């Protein structure tokens, strides 16, 4: 991302989840923001209506494997099969590895088919060790030009994201950041 441009990229991992993802979409709609959702294939299959809602509202979709698996815990072949299974439903050219880690061979093969998108700011909204105010403070402390900010539209993050996301968007706008789509 261009480090001289005063813009950020909002991303959401682990959805779609009914109740959480629609709420996130409503917040984004009210703010006129488009984001990228890195989705778990199993969730897409379980909640196709929620998946369609994200697509129909003009957001970008990324692959986050079918079962949210760690690259180091699986052979390259198994990891790629899991990723391909997820993409059968999503049909995307973006990929983000769960937990931000994968083997070199997995990365080498996946980058032939996907643009691999990491982040520079993970809000930790999913963590039980971080409260909602701290999530917001993380955004304020670590955002910089070109930041790819990662929230989670998951049940683990529900309490924190419902507090921190609207406040983060408001603060980012006050700081003059534009919101761009990957």
Please identify every residue annotated as catalytic.
Answer: 13, 152
Residue 14 near residue 37 (C-beta atoms within 8 A): no
Alpha-carbon distance of 89 to 66, in angstroms, equals: 10
What residues pair up with 9 in beta bridges, in sequence order?
148
Phi and psi at residue 95, in whole multiples of 5°? -140, 140
What CA dihedral angle connects 88, 43, 52 and 117, to 10 degrees? -70
CB 15, CB 43: distance < 8 Å: yes
CA distance 130 to 124: 7
């Amino acid at each position: 991302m261009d480090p001289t441009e005063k813009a950020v990229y909002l991303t959401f991992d682990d959805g779609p989840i009914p109740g959480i993802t629609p709420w996130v979409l409503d917040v984004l709609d009210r703010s006129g923001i488009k984001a990228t959702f890195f989705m778990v294939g199993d969730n897409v299959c379980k909640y196709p209506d929620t998946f369609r809602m994200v697509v129909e509202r003009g957001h970008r979709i990324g692959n986050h494997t079918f079962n949210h698996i760690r690259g180091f815990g699986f052979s390259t072949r198994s990891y790629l099969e899991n990723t391909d299974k997820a993409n059968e439903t999503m049909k995307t050219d973006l990929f983000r590895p769960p937990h931000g880690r994968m083997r070199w061979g997995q990365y080498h093969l996946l980058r032939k088919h996907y643009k691999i998108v990491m982040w520079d700011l993970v809000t930790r909204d999913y963590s039980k060790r971080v409260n909602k105010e701290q999530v917001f403070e993380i955004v304020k402390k670590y955002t910089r030009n070109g930041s790819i900010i990662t929230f989670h539209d998951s049940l683990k993050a529900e309490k924190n994201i419902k507090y921190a996301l609207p406040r983060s968007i408001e603060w980012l706008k006050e700081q003059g950041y534009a919101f761009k789509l990957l």
